[in-house]
Amino acid sequence: MTKPTKSISYLDLKAQYETIKPEVDAAIARVISRSSFILGEEAKAFEEEFGKFSGINYVVGCSNGTDALLLAMEALGIGEGDEVITTAFTFIATAETIVERGAKPVFVDIRLDDYNIDPALIEKKITPKTKAIIVVHLYGQPARMLEIMAIARKHKLLVIEDSAQAHGATIDGTPIGTFGDAATFSFYPGKNLGAYGDAGAVATQRPEIAEKMRLLRDHGRSEKYLHKILGYNMRLDGIQAGILRAKLPHLKKWNQARQRCADRYRDLLSGVKDLVLPQRFANAVSVAHLFVIRHPKRDQIQKALQERGVPSLVHYPVGLHLQPCFDFLKHREGDLPVTEKASREVLSIPCYPELSDADINYIAESLRAVCA
């Protein structure tokens, strides 16, 4: 392979750091000078500020987005013997944590227009054991929460919104994360709001659930050596909280930059044969965590892009129902046809706030050329 003349990063966290260096450095220095390394004032302040940003009443900072799912499920009483309906077209954490809680994941296929769980297929999978639905707002695009909540209310099911990819997304102006009983967030470095290490949060509109989450994440303690319930060490790190506080005031602007990047791609790439672009929905505002195209010859396209110096990734190449770790669920190819089609055809191209217009133009031009 000849070396490409152009080199674009799939994501450039260093470029982002350069734009906020004084604020981040000051936050780290502040935490160190106070030596409040675990939870502390910094975490408390971040929880309040992120609650304001995301429009959710109670935010409980924790170790990462995976632990957030465990905390949400345990606080809501989801566990042994329960069935939890979810999507197989997501990051492993969404479903692995269901099994870790002693419950059984029940996969429902997705819609091809937004890659999120298809509400029309949910009721068929409800049994007397069904306790909850875990919805994922994939790629930053809200799932169809109005339809999902109507089903949940009818069947008295709990709803958790895995919002790891969707900080700030809305449906008819209502923030995601406020529809269900709890929402989970990841601040993994590559997410729309990313820490400089692992971090996450669990959030809810229900005060008694928030209280339970708060206890669970810190050994069940209400005072230093008073343990009301059995819990875990799933705490938010003070330095990460400080960094997140320094970055949060920029998040709205960064989300808008991602949306502009997505719109620019849509303009530049419209009308390319066999290339399906992410749809824009009138009422559901995506925060463009990823820009995911679809093409029947995905693997060839990816390789040809690479040769032109354009990196891309596949989110996700295998539906979770076909992952070896879920063999015990006895799924076969064909069980979730839309998930399987998406996993063969999707491709994520660079989309982040620091990506220059020149690079977007180059990527779009390259994609047009390789599709031709």
Ligand X SMILES: *Cc1c(COP(=O)(O)O)cnc(C)c1O
91 binds ligand X (CB under 6 A): yes
Cis bond before residue 316 (omega within 30° of 0): yes
CB-based contacts of 330, cutoff 8 Å, min separation 6: none
Decide whether 164 or 215 has the Cβ nearer to ligand X: 164
In sequence order, what are the beta bridge partners of 237?
38
**Contacts (CB under 6 A) with ligand X, residues 126-185:** 136, 162, 164-165
CB of 66 to ligand X, least distance (A): 3
348 binds ligand X (CB under 6 A): no
Decide whether 91 or 179 has the Cβ nearer to ligand X: 91
Cα dihedral 293, 298, 301, 303 sign: positive
CB of 170 to ligand X, least distance (A): 18
CB of 303 to ligand X, least distance (A): 25
Q: State the number of binding residues for ligand X (CB under 6 A).
A: 15
93 binds ligand X (CB under 6 A): yes
Decide whether 200 or 319 has the Cβ nearer to ligand X: 200
* Residue whose CB is nearest to ligand X in the complex, by number: 65
CA distance 84 to 134: 7
231 binds ligand X (CB under 6 A): no
CA distance 179 to 135: 11
Q: Which H helix or E strand runs over 43?
A: helix 40-54
The phi, psi pair for 267, rounded to 5°, reads: -65, -45
CB of 94 to ligand X, least distance (A): 5
CA distance 60 to 214: 6
Q: Are 185 and 65 in contact (CB under 8 A)?
A: yes
| Contact flags string 15-54 toward ligand X, x per CB under 6 A | ----------------------------------------
Decide whether 117 or 275 has the Cβ nearer to ligand X: 117
CB of 216 to ligand X, least distance (A): 16
194 binds ligand X (CB under 6 A): no
CA distance 310 to 304: 9
Q: Which of 188, 316, 326, 352 binds ligand X (CB under 6 A)?
A: 188
DSSP 117: B
| Count of beta carbons in the 10 Å neighbourhood of residue 126 | 18
Q: Which stretch binds ligand X (CB under 6 A): 90-98, 205-213, 240-248, 294-302?
A: 90-98
Q: Are strands 158-162 and 182-186 parallel, antiparallel or unpaired?
A: parallel
CB-based contacts of 191, cutoff 8 Å, min separation 6: 65, 164, 165, 167, 289
Decide whether 139 or 265 has the Cβ nearer to ligand X: 139
Decide whether 179 or 188 has the Cβ nearer to ligand X: 188
114 binds ligand X (CB under 6 A): no
Decide whether 135 or 152 has the Cβ nearer to ligand X: 135
Q: Which of 40, 65, 175, 177 binds ligand X (CB under 6 A)?
A: 65
Q: Which stretch binds ligand X (CB under 6 A): 58-66, 76-84, 147-155, 235-243?
A: 58-66
In sequence order, what are the beta bridge partners of 108?
87
Q: Are 65 and 96 in contact (CB under 8 A)?
A: no
CA distances from 359 to 6, 31, 256, 362, 367 (A): 9, 37, 18, 5, 12
316 binds ligand X (CB under 6 A): no
Binding site for ligand X (CB under 6 A): 64-66, 90-91, 93-94, 136, 162, 164-165, 186, 188, 198, 200
